Amino acid sequence: MKKKLKIAGISLLILITLLIASPFIFQSQIKDMVRNYINENVNAKVDFDDVNLSFISSFPQANVTLDNLVITNFKPFANDTLAKVKVLSLDMSIKELFKNAEEDPIIVNSINIDDALVNLKTNAEGQVNWDIAKASSNTATTTETSSKGFAFDIENYSLNNSAFNYLDESINTIFKISNLNHSGNGTFSGDVSELDTKTEANVTFSFDGTEYLSNNSIKLDALLDLDLTNSKYTFKDNKALINDLPLEFKGFVQLIEGGQNIDISFENPGSTFKDFLAVIPKTYAKNLDNVDTSGNFKINGIVKGQATETTIPILDINVLSNNASFKFADLPKRVENISINAQIKNESGNVDDTYVNLNTLDFKIDQDQFKSSATIKNLTKNMLVDAHLDGVLNLGNLNQAYPIELENELKGILKAKLNTSFDMNAIETNAYERIKNNGSIELSDFVFSSADIVNPININQASVNFNPGTITLDKFIASTGTTDLNATGTVNNLLGFLLSDQKLKGDFNLQSNTFKISDFMVEGGSDAPVNQSAEPATALKIPAFLDCSITADAKTVYYDNLILKDVKGNLKIADEKAQLNNVSSSLFNGNLTLEGLVDTKTEQPTFNMNVGAKNFDITQSFNDLNLLQAIAPITKALQGKLNSTINLSGKLGQDFTPLLNSISGDAFAELLTTQIQPKNEQLFSLLENKLSFLDFSKLNLQDLKTKLSFDNGQVTVKPFDINYKDIKMTIDGSHTFNNTMDYKIIFDVPAKYLGNDVNSLISKIDDNSVNNITIPVTANITGNTTQPQVQTDLTSGVKTLTSQLIEIEKQKLINKGKGKLTDVVGNILGGNQSQNSDSTTTQSNGGVKDVIGGLLNNGNTATPKDTTSNTNTEAPKDQVKDAIKGLFGKKKTKD
pLDDT in tens, 260-311: 899 999 998 877 888 888 777 666 666 677 889 999 899 999 999 998 888 8
- Residue 70 and residue 88 in contact, taking contact as beta carbons nearer than 8 Å: no
Which residue from 27, 36, 43, 118 is spatially nearest to 81, judged by alpha carbons? Answer: 118
pLDDT at 585: 92
> What is the distance between the alpha carbons of residues 459 and 455, in angstroms, rounded to a whole number?
12
Instruction: Kindly give the interhelix angle for 837-856 and 794-830, rounded to the nearest 10 degrees.
Output: 110
pLDDT at 134: 76
pLDDT at 853: 41
> What is the distance between the alpha carbons of residues 515 and 554, in angstroms, rounded to a whole number?
7
pLDDT at 694: 81
Single-letter residue type at 281: P
3-state secondary structure of 135: coil
Q: Please count the CA atoms within 13 angstroms of the CA of 470 that sit on its side-chain side.
A: 7
Q: Is 605 exposed, middle or buried (0-12, 13-18, 19+ CB in 10 A)?
A: buried
> What is the distance between the alpha carbons of residues 872 and 843, in angstroms, rounded to a whole number?
8
> What is the distance between the alpha carbons of residues 498 and 475, in angstroms, rounded to a whole number?
20
- The 10 Å Cβ neighbour count of residue 365 is 20
What 28-32 contacts at long range (C-beta under 8 Å, 24+ apart), as own/partner pairs, is 29/97, 30/64, 30/97
> What is the distance between the alpha carbons of residues 50 and 73, in angstroms, rounded to a whole number?
21
- Residue 759 and residue 752 in contact, taking contact as beta carbons nearer than 8 Å: yes
pLDDT at 888: 37
- Residue 512 and residue 531 in contact, taking contact as beta carbons nearer than 8 Å: no
pLDDT in tens, 869-886: 444 444 444 544 444 344
Contacts of 625 (CB under 8 A, 6+ apart): 562
Question: In DSSP terms, which residues pair with 448 in a beta bridge?
Answer: 410, 457
> What is the distance between the alpha carbons of residues 177 and 502, in angstroms, rounded to a whole number?
30
Contacts of 86 (CB under 8 A, 6+ apart): 67, 68, 114, 115, 116
DSSP for 851-893, written as a single string: HHHHHHTTT--PPPS-HHHHHHHHHHHHHHHHHHHHHHT-S--
Full-prediction pTM beyond 0.75?
Answer: no
Cα-based distances in Å from 482 to 443, 518, 557 = 21, 10, 11
pLDDT at 453: 62
% helix / strand / coil in the chain, to the nearest 5? 25, 50, 25
> What is the distance between the alpha carbons of residues 804 and 811, in angstroms, rounded to a whole number?
11
Q: Domain locations in the chain? A: 243-406, 831-895
Residues of the chain falling short of pLDDT 70: 1-35, 55-60, 94-106, 135-154, 187-192, 208-210, 212, 281-287, 406-408, 450-454, 469, 499-500, 521-540, 622, 634-639, 655, 673-680, 757-758, 761-771, 816-895
- The 10 Å Cβ neighbour count of residue 302 is 17
